[in-house]
Structure 1
Amino acid sequence: MWSNIALRTVLRSSLGVLRESAGTSGTCCSALLSRNKVNSVLGVFSPPAPVRHYARATKKKVAGLESQLSDLPPTMLKMDYAAVPLAETTDDIVKRLLSLELASQSEKLALKKEQLIAKVQRDESDRSSVEVQVAILTARIRNFQEHLLKHHKDKANKRRMLMAMDRRKKLLKNLRLERYDAFEKVCEQLGITYTFPPEYYRRATRRWLAKKAFCIKVFKEVQKQKAEQKLKLAAKMETASQ
C-alpha cells in the first residue's frame, strides 16, 4: 500500500515538472519529449543519443601489383588435360570443368611455372638447370608478393619469400660469373632486374663504430712511431757516413 502511494507521488511530481517546462520552453520541450523515452514505472528520462555532425574519411585502396596470372585466359585447359585430344571435342560444361575458369590457385601457378620454364630452358628435357631453377623461384616469389599485399601480417610466407629471393640471388650470381650470355637471357625473358651486391656490408652498431675508431687511432699512432724511427735511423746513417 505504501509503495503504491509513493509511486503515485513520484509520477505526479514528474508530470508537474513537465507541465512547467512546457509552459516556459515550448518547442524545446516538445523536441525533448519526442527524443526521450519515458519510463512508465519510475518516470526517469533516458539521455538522447549523441549526434555527430561529421563524416569519416574513406580509406583509399592501395593499388597493388598486377597479378602474374592475369595473362592466363580462362578458356585455357589445365596442364593435365592440355595434351588430351578428347578434351577439345567435349561439350561446354565439361570444357568449363577442365579449363582455368574453375581451376584453383595452385593449378594456375603450376601452369605459369611451365610457361616461364619454357622461356629459359636449354632443351625440352631440361628440368634441373640453373635457368629452370631461377624460373621456378621467380614464379614463387611473385606469388608470395601478391599474397603479402593482401595479408601483410603473414610472417611465415614472408620468411619463405625472403629465402626464395636469397636462393635466386645466389643462382644468378653464379650464372653471371660462368655463363654471362645465359644470365642476360634469363633476366630479359623473366623480367628480372639484377642489382649488384655490395662488396662488403656490415651493420654499423655502436660497439663496432667505437672499435673501428679505436683501431684507426692505434694505426695512426703506430705509423707515427715508425716515422720517428725512420728519422732516427736516417740521422744515425748520416752521422756514421761522416
Structure 2
Amino acid sequence: MLANIVLRTVLKSSAGILRESGAVCSALSAKPWTSNSALLGARVSCGSFAVLPPVRHYARAAKKRRAGSESQLSDLPPTMLKMDYAAVPLAQTTDDIVKRLLSLELANHSEKLRLKTEQLIAKVQRDENDRDSVEVRVAILTAKIRNFREHLQKHHKDKANKRRMLIAIDRRKKLLKNLRLVNYEAFEKVCEQLGITYTFPPEYYRRATRRWLAKKAFCIKVFNEVQKQKKEERLMMKESLASTDTEAAKTTAAGSL
C-alpha cells in the first residue's frame, strides 16, 4: 500500500515537470526572435529534445562584374546615318525625326558592325574598287574577331562562337604570314592601321627524354659513319681515275714511239 502511494506521487511530480517544459517549448517556438540573452545563449531542452537558439542567415555579398574592354563600336557617333542612307542627299535635308530614324541611334547591332567593317576596309584597301585583296580580307576578319571577343566577354560559355573566333584568328594568321613574305610594306601598313600585333609562332620544342637523346646520338653516329664511307669511296674513285689516266698516257707515249 505504501509503495503504491509513493509511485503515485512520483508520477504526479513527473507529469508536472513535463507540463512546465512543454509550456517553455511552446513559448520559445511562438517567439523565435526573443531578445532574452539567457534563452539565446543556452541550449533549451524540451523533454527529450534539445532546442537550438535561432540562427540568423544573412544574404551573400553581390558578385562584382568584371569590367570589360571598350567596344569597337563605341567610336561610332549615334547621330551618324546608316550606311544605306549616308550617300543619299535627301537624307541630309530632312527633319530631325526622320534623321533620328535613319541614324545609328535606332540601328541594330548588325548595321553598326557593317558600318565598322566598311571603315576598316577603307583604311587598308588599295583603291575604291578593291574588295578581294589580302588587306581587305584581313580587315573583314579583324572586325569579326573583335565582335566575337566582345560577345564572349558577356557569354563566356558560348562554345560555338568561340570556335568560330578561333577559326577566324587562324585564317587571319595565314593571310598575314603570306602578306609578310610577299609585301612587307603592305603588311606593316595593315598592322598599323588596324592595330594588330603580329606575334611569331613558337619555335618547335620537344622534351628531351633519354630515349630521344640516345636515338639522336645514334643517328648522328650513323650519319658520320656514312659520310666517312662516302669520303673514302670518293678518294678511291679519284685514285682509280688518276691510275687510268697515267696508263692511258703511257700507252699513247708508247704508240707515238
Q: TM-score, normalised by structure 2?
A: 0.66
Instruction: Determine the C-alpha separation between the residues in 1 that align with 2:171 and 2:118.
Output: 20
Q: Percent identity?
A: 66
Mapping for residues 93-242 of structure 1, pairs under 5 Å? 93-198=97-202, 200-201=203-204, 204=206, 209=209, 212-219=212-219, 222=222
Residue 218 of structure 1: CA displacement? 2.2
In 1, Cα distance between the equivalents of 2:94 and 2:17? 86
Deviation at 1:188, TM superposition (A): 0.6
Does residue 79 in structure 1 map to residue 83 in structure 2? yes
Report the CA distance shift for 1:77/1:167 in structure 2 as closer, same or farther (over 3 A). same
Bigger mean CA deviation after superposition, 215-224 or 163-172:
215-224
Q: Which residue of 1 aligns with 2:69?
A: 65
Q: Cα–Cα, structure 1 residues 225 and 135, in superposed 2: closer, same or farther, change >3 Å?
A: closer
Structure 1 counterpart of 2:56, which letter? V
1:34 corresponds to 2:17: no
**Structure 1 partner of 2:237:** none
When the two chains are superposed, the root-mean-square deviation of aligned CA atoms in Å is 3.5
Equivalent AA in structure 2 for residue 33 of structure 1: A
Unaligned runs of 5+ in 1: 1-11, 23-28, 37-45, 230-242
Structure with greater Cα Rg: 2
TM-score by length of structure 1 reads 0.69
* Equivalent-residue separation in structure 1 for 2:181 and 2:225 (angstroms): 45
SS of the aligned residue for 1:35 comes to coil
Cα separation, 2, equivalents of 1:209 and 1:66: 46
Q: In structure 2, how many angstroms separate the alpha carbons of the residues matched to 1:56 and 1:190?
A: 44
Cα distance in 1, alignment partners of residues 90 and 17 from structure 2: 91
CA distance in 2, matches of 1:72, 1:15: 79
- Unaligned residue ranges in structure 2 (runs of 5+): 1-15, 34-50, 230-257
For 1:119-141, what per-residue CA distance to the aligned partner results, in whole angstroms no more than 9, with x for missing partners? 11111111111111111110000
1:211-238 deviations in whole A, cap 9, x for unaligned? 5234124236647978xx9xxxxxxxxx
Map 1:44-55 onto structure 2 (within 5 A): 50-52=55-57
Distance 1:49 1:101, change over 3 A: farther
Residue aligned with 1:143, SS: helix
Q: How many residues align?
A: 199
| Cα distance in 2, alignment partners of residues 48 and 217 from structure 1 | 76
1:201 Cα deviation from its structure 2 partner: 3.1
Counterpart Cα distance in 1 of 2:157 and 2:170: 21
Shift of 1:15: 6.6
After TM superposition, the structure 1 stretch with the greater mean CA deviation from structure 2, 210-219 or 122-131, is 210-219
Deviation at 1:176, TM superposition (A): 1.1
